[in-house]
Structure 1
Amino acid sequence: MNYESTIPSDDLARLNDQDGRSTNRRRLIIAAAVAVVLLLAYVGYHYFTGSGNEDDSVSQAPTVTVMVPGKQQVTRTINATGTLAARREIPVSVVGEGGRVTNVYVDAGDWVKQGQVMASIDRSVQSQQAASLRASVGVSQADLNLAQANLDRAEKLVDRGFISKADIDRLTATRDSAAARLKVSQAQLNETQARNSRLNIVAPKAGFVLERNVEPGQTATQGSGVLFLLAQNGEMELQAQLGENDLANISVNTTTQVTPVGTDKVLTGTIWQISPVIDPQSRQGIARISLGFDRALRPGGFASARIQSGTSEVAVLPESALQNDSKGSFVYIIGPDNKAIRRDVVIGAVSSAGLSIASGLVGTEQVVLRAGGFLSPGETVQPEVQKASGA
């Protein structure tokens, strides 16, 4: 007889559910026990082997090349830019009464000598006035000659009694009046000739013509403005813009190297004047660097200057050691615990030896030479010291 067939179906389902729940409960208990065992094993492993892992972490730290820069004697160099100009600009305009320009004899880019005629102005009317005055001088001279002759003859007749002393005085006065009229005529002629000579536009000094602003046929008067602009003796200058600190570190007669923009020509100049005032807006002043004439120097253009301002002992690093971010320039140095430390620095002069560090380093630190961009503050590294160049 089949026994199972006598159990009702509902009871059979209830028994199956109880068996399933018992099985699941046993599985959960087994899984929890296994997890506890694994956790205890993990804690015990790290407890008994902790020092070994620390050694492993150190051995896995990245290796970086470091150097102890020390200090080197470097020449401080100040880089500046500025505008080129004539050292002494001489504007030339109409000196006399002016008139119509008849000829222009020089152009921009020409050299002129002192007193050289640069342009002439029509003087046809003035020439006639001078001729008239010259004739007046002749008349006055003839009157003087006649008055002198009459006086001479009368003086010879005084002793004979034919001429009185009063006649002599009258003739003397006539002679003196003629002499005075001659002087007046001569002065008027000289004045006219001087005025006429000023109709020519002449170079007051020798120099190089920078601008020509006049053409033949133009009417030039004293209100016409500058007709020519000269650079006295062709001398130029660079008006270099410098900050307050840089101005304090330079002096007159310092030799500089000047490079006009757009050329590779390096010219030698000398600081001849340092601005006694500072612009309150830009906090800058001007150092005037005198330069000899050169076709590469064009007033109004820009140029750069390298000014040597003495020597100092500073740390020098290669460019690869420097990093930059929004806070400025910095390097990574390695502390006693082999951890990377950020150190903010101020870059000074740039030379063939590298970048001088104006402040931020004393020279005894271990500075990361390369791969600083891949480090972060506090990261453990293995430093490998490289001897500083020049040490």
Structure 2
Amino acid sequence: MAASPKISVIASLLLAAALAGCSRPAEKTEDIRPVRVIKLVGSDVDVNAEFSGEVRARVESRLGFRVGGKIISRKVDVGTLVRKGQVLMQLDPQDLQLSQAQALANLRAAETNRDLAKAELARYQELRSKSFVSQTVLDSKESTYKAAQATVDAQQAMYRGQSNQAAYSALLSDTDGVVTSVDAEIGQVVSPGTPVVRVAKSGEKEIVIGIPEDKVDTLRQVPDVQVRLWADPDHSVAGRIREISPVADPSTRTYTFKVAIPDSLAEAKLGMTAVVQFASRTATPQIKVPLTALFYEKSASSVWVVENGVVRLVPVTIGGVAGNDIILAGGVQAGQTVVTAGVNLLKPGQKVTILGDDLGMAPAAGAQK
């Protein structure tokens, strides 16, 4: 016998009531936002920029032969320590020696003609003293002698020049130093002046770095320049800006700065990587925060300050820009903790949790590595 519709409705209501009695009300979860923060510090460092560069010799000569010819010997390799006057390369001297011999022969011939003219002049002077010849004839002999002497002088100069040319077949180091590059090999024919060996002079060294064009004017005025080697990062010494290129490098579009380093940095070897740090000081300490820490609302700038795990919106006054950081001129003070990420998702009085171990000091403006 089928159940009546009324009994079915009552059973459904009883079942629904039983199920409702078994379910519990959902618990409300508290909204706690994860954020990244920094602890504000006051610093009088106005510029704090770092650039990597290479240790080079202050004087590096690209040496070449004064004459052309074929290289027949090479006396040095890259890294060879050389002394002033030491032979680096040698050209085939045969043609130069033949030219020298020819110049010597011409000089001897000129000297013979001069001696003959001199002897003839002496004889005509004696004849003139006895009135056997006229003064005109004597003047002609004097002119012949002077011309012969001039020819001798010219041939002597030519001979000395050819002697120098023969000596130039040997390429000598003009300073004490180390060979940093060899650009020619035995058997190669080179023209006069072609660089074949590069020698770095011993003594003063410098660090060469490239500076972006937007920082050149700022960094050229920085008085505090510190230098440290990548191989010894804990040891730094004072450097000095020695030279600033007036023209940007065509490939990198950066300006070359040459920073002189003291002799006390004896461990600096040619080709080593070094870091140059620029820093200047302000009259009063400044507080800087990343641009991401600012919260904009109704044309006003504020930051979220974390106190006892709860955030509070604090209006601030912007004093300027330092690289990727903002200088805060008022509203906050050193020691406070400020949110740097997620500022647009917060509301006053909201509880937050700090992500990772990010509670630290504000980064220096414009730091580059």
Measured against the shorter chain, the TM-score band is 0.5 to 0.7
Residues 1:306 and 2:277 aligned together: yes
SS of equivalent residue, structure 1 residue 133: helix
- Match 1:230 to one of 192, 199, 212: 199
Determine the structure 1 residue equivalent to 2:218.
Answer: 249
Specify whether residues 295 and 127 from structure 1 end up closer, same or farther in structure 2 by C-alpha distance, changes over 3 A only.
farther
Say whether the 8 Å CA contact 2:70–2:188 is kept in structure 1.
Answer: yes
Residues 1:92 and 2:72 aligned together: no
Distance 1:256 1:119 in 2: 41
Specify whether residues 100 and 79 from structure 1 end up closer, same or farther in structure 2 by C-alpha distance, changes over 3 A only.
closer
- Match 2:327 to one of 359, 364, 383: 359
Deviation at 1:221, TM superposition (A): 1.7
Specify whether residues 144 and 75 from structure 1 end up closer, same or farther in structure 2 by C-alpha distance, changes over 3 A only.
same
Residues 1:82 and 2:53 aligned together: yes
- Trace 1:152-231 onto structure 2 (pairs within 5 A): 152-204=122-174, 207-215=177-185, 217-222=186-191, 225-231=194-200
Say whether the 8 Å CA contact 2:40–2:337 is kept in structure 1.
Answer: no
- Higher percent of residues as strand: 2
Specify whether residues 87 and 380 from structure 1 end up closer, same or farther in structure 2 by C-alpha distance, changes over 3 A only.
same
What do residues 71-90 of structure 1 show as CA deviations (whole Å, max 9, x unaligned)?
A: 44346421222344444442
Deviation at 1:306, TM superposition (A): 1.3
Letter in 1 for 2:305: I
Greater length-normalized contact order (CA 8 Å, ≥ 6 residues apart): 2
Is the radius of gyration larger for structure 1 or structure 2?
A: 1
Q: Tell me how many residue pairs correspond in the alignment.
A: 327
Deviation at 1:239, TM superposition (A): 3.0
Identity of aligned residues (%): 18
Deviation at 1:270, TM superposition (A): 1.4
- Trace 1:1-391 onto structure 2 (pairs within 5 A): 69=40, 71-74=42-45, 76-102=47-73, 104=75, 108-113=79-84, 116-204=86-174, 207-215=177-185, 217-222=186-191, 225-251=194-220, 254-264=223-233, 266-276=236-246, 284-291=254-261, 296-299=268-271, 302-311=273-282, 313-315=285-287, 332-334=304-306, 339-341=311-313, 358-360=326-328, 362=330, 364=332, 367-368=336-337, 377-378=346-347, 379-381=349-351
Deviation at 1:274, TM superposition (A): 3.3
Letter in 2 for 1:209: V
Deviation at 1:363, TM superposition (A): 5.8
Specify whether residues 188 and 135 from structure 1 end up closer, same or farther in structure 2 by C-alpha distance, changes over 3 A only.
same
Letter in 1 for 2:169: L
- Higher percent of residues as helix: 1
Distance 2:192 2:122 in 1: 55
What is the RMSD of the two structures over their aligned residues, measured on CA atoms? Answer: 5.2
Specify whether residues 101 and 17 from structure 1 end up closer, same or farther in structure 2 by C-alpha distance, changes over 3 A only.
closer
Say whether the 8 Å CA contact 1:91–1:229 is kept in structure 2.
Answer: yes
Letter in 2 for 1:237: E
Gaps of 5+ in 1: 1-12, 36-56, 350-355, 383-387
Deviation at 1:313, TM superposition (A): 2.0
Letter in 2 for 1:240: I
SS of equivalent residue, structure 2 residue 149: helix
Determine the structure 2 residue equivalent to 1:10.
Answer: none
Deviation at 1:229, TM superposition (A): 1.0
Deviation at 1:244, TM superposition (A): 4.6
Deviation at 1:155, TM superposition (A): 1.5
Deviation at 1:178, TM superposition (A): 2.2
Determine the structure 2 residue equivalent to 1:7.
Answer: none
Distance 1:165 1:19 in 2: 170
